[in-house]
Amino acid sequence: MVVSLSRRGEVEPFHAMDILAEANRLKATGVPVVSMAVGQPSDPAPVGVREAAAAALRHGRIGYTDALGLADLRKAIAAHYGEHYGIDIAPSRIAVTTGSSAAFNLAFLAMFDPGDRVAIAAPGYPAYRNIMAALGIEIVEIELGADAYLHAEHLKSAHRDKPLNGVLFASPANPTGAVIPAEELAALVNTAEELGIAVISDEIYHRLAYAAPDVTALVHGAGLTVINSFSKYYCMTGWRIGWMVLPEELVRPVERVAQSLYISPPELSQVAAIEAFKATEELEKVKARYAWNRDLLMKRLPELGFSLAAPMDGAFYAFCDVTRHTNDSMAFARKMLAEAHVAATPGRDFDPLQGHRTMRFSYAGSHDDMVEALARIERWLK
């Protein structure tokens, strides 16, 4: 029997998931691992979300929906843009997706052809790079260096070297937590439009900024694509439900691709997600704990020799320079897990060139876990 292997499967592994798998293996043997590796809220979905799902199960309401999602959920998402951002978005421009991961797949397939050049920031979320590499899209990684976020001058420079077809950025960003200031976001989007570069704005960490109000890229026009998710602020990672806001011209192409790739997002998750927008009081208490954890890490990590490599503006990550302790963050992360029983993510996931110098610590867990993890790291380093 001949086994055919495509080169598309040779993408870099997602090292955070490898670390998580090893942490879970240790936990299964009774080792009390504290995980700061994966960007997953430790709280369950809001009560109303779970109750809506339970009711849907009792009524047997689980089947296919339209490829772009339930009309009621698309209306709820549109209403959210009016309430949270003060802008009007037609429900017809919204596509509900099987998590933001499916949204990225659909955006890349509908917007770009093999060989097109798309710019992303380094450090940045590894799935951007891996998915586009599998699709034959040329990735243009812009090393941020001392800059906290991607800005217009980065884009002009990269486009000048060789024209770009697209740019993808996140604010707040993973792994850094950095937020693009409102005026810089405007300049970035306007520059992309002037240069004829398609824009994808990853906004899955919106509502998790600590120093400034959220600003969606959609305020700068209807010709860009925004991707968001119920996973982070809404504590619904395993429900696999996200959304896109699309230019009118992209709605039908995305729908056609979605029909064949996914048929539809899971109806149970869609029904439940409608209730997420009603759970702000509950979710703000969760965010307050993140802020408490953030204050702790901002103080303690530098004291332990992990200097902050980016401002902790949002999300639930501390991105640190670890060169005081190591020049191999991958080996350091494995050793810390094996000996201190604390899991964190090596920077190689986020930056193939400079990632050996950095690590990402997630503070989405309980405050007690954060205190314990830092105490373990301190003892281990001594």
**117: β partners:** 138
Q: Shortest CA distance to 354 belongs to which of 378, 381, 319?
A: 319
Residue 52 belongs to some domain of the structure: no
pLDDT of 16 reads 79
Q: What is the pLDDT of residues 194-208, one digit of tens each?
A: 999 999 999 999 999
Assess if residue 291 is contained within a domain: yes
Residue 234 in any domain: the answer is yes
Rounded-to-integer distance, Cα 275 and Cα 104, Å: 24
Residue 9 has pLDDT above 80, yes or no: no
Confidence of residue 307 (pLDDT cuts 50, 70, 90): very high
The pLDDT tens digits for 171-189 are 999 999 999 999 999 999 9
| Confidence grade of residue 14 (pLDDT, cut at 50, 70, 90) | confident
Residues 104 and 193 in one domain: yes
User: Of 278, 311, 337, which residue is a domain's last?
Assistant: 278
- The reply to whether 319 falls in a domain is yes
Clarify whether residues 195 and 141 are in a common domain. Answer: yes
Q: Is residue 166 one of the residues assigned to a domain?
A: yes
Same domain, 270 and 305: no
CA distance readout (Å), 333 to 36, 305, 311: 11, 15, 22
pLDDT (average), residues 43-50: 98
Residues 231, 353: one domain?
no
Which has the higher per-residue pLDDT, 226 or 11? 226
Task: Please give the pLDDT value at position 87.
Answer: 97
In 22-179, which ranges are E strands?
34-35, 94-97, 117-122, 138-143, 166-170
Do 236 and 248 belong to one domain?
yes
pLDDT of residue 12: 77
Q: 124 and 236: one domain?
A: yes
Determine the pLDDT at residue 38: 84
Q: CATH number for the domain including 123?
A: 3.40.640.10
Q: Residue 19 has what pLDDT?
A: 87
Residue 75 placed within a domain: yes
Is residue 45 over pLDDT 80?
yes
Q: What is the mean pLDDT of the chain?
A: 96
Give Rg (Cα) of the chain. 21
Confidence at residue 7, expressed as pLDDT on a 0 to 100 scale: 78
pLDDT digits over 244-302, tens only? 999 999 999 999 999 999 999 999 999 999 999 999 999 999 999 999 999 999 999 99
H, E, C per residue of 93-137: HEEEECHHHHHHHHHHHHHCCCCCEEEEEECCCHHHHHHHHHCCC
First and final C-alpha spacing in the chain = 55
CATH number at residue 24: 3.90.1150.10
User: Is the pLDDT confidence value at 65 over 80?
Assistant: yes
Q: Higher model confidence: residue 4 or residue 135?
A: 135
| Full domain range(s) for residue 351 | 7-45+280-381
CA distances from 153 to 23, 145, 189, 193 (A): 41, 13, 12, 14
Residue 268 lies inside a defined structural domain of this protein: yes
How many domains does the structure of the chain reveal?
2
Helix, strand, coil percentages, rounded to 5, for the chain? 50, 15, 35
Question: Which band of pLDDT confidence, cut at 50, 70 and 90, is reported for residue 58?
Answer: very high
- Among residues 227, 246, 278, which one ends one of the domains? 278
Strands (E), 20-130: 34-35, 94-97, 117-122
- Check whether residue 176 and residue 319 sit in a common domain: no
Same domain, 152 and 211: yes
Q: Are 155 and 120 in contact (CB under 8 A)?
A: no
Q: Which of 225, 258, 278 is the last residue of a domain?
A: 278
- Whether 220 and 124 share a structural domain: yes
| Residue 6: per-residue pLDDT | 79
d(CA 243, CA 93): 10
Please give the average per-residue pLDDT across 119-125, as a whole number.
97
Residue 366 vs residue 19, higher pLDDT: 366
Decide which of 150 and 21 is more confident: 150
pLDDT digit string, tens, across residues 312-350: 999 999 999 999 999 999 999 999 999 999 999 999 999
- Closest of 333, 232, 380, 319 to residue 22, by C-alpha: 333
Q: Are 138 and 28 in a shared domain? A: no
Whether 82 is in a domain gets the answer: yes
One domain for residues 195 and 100: yes
User: Hey, what amino acid is at 70?
Assistant: L
The DSSP letter of residue 215 is -
Nearest to 107 by CA among 123, 124, 121, 127: 127
227-237 per-position pLDDT tens digit? 999 999 999 99
Identify whether residues 103 and 125 lie together within a single domain. Answer: yes
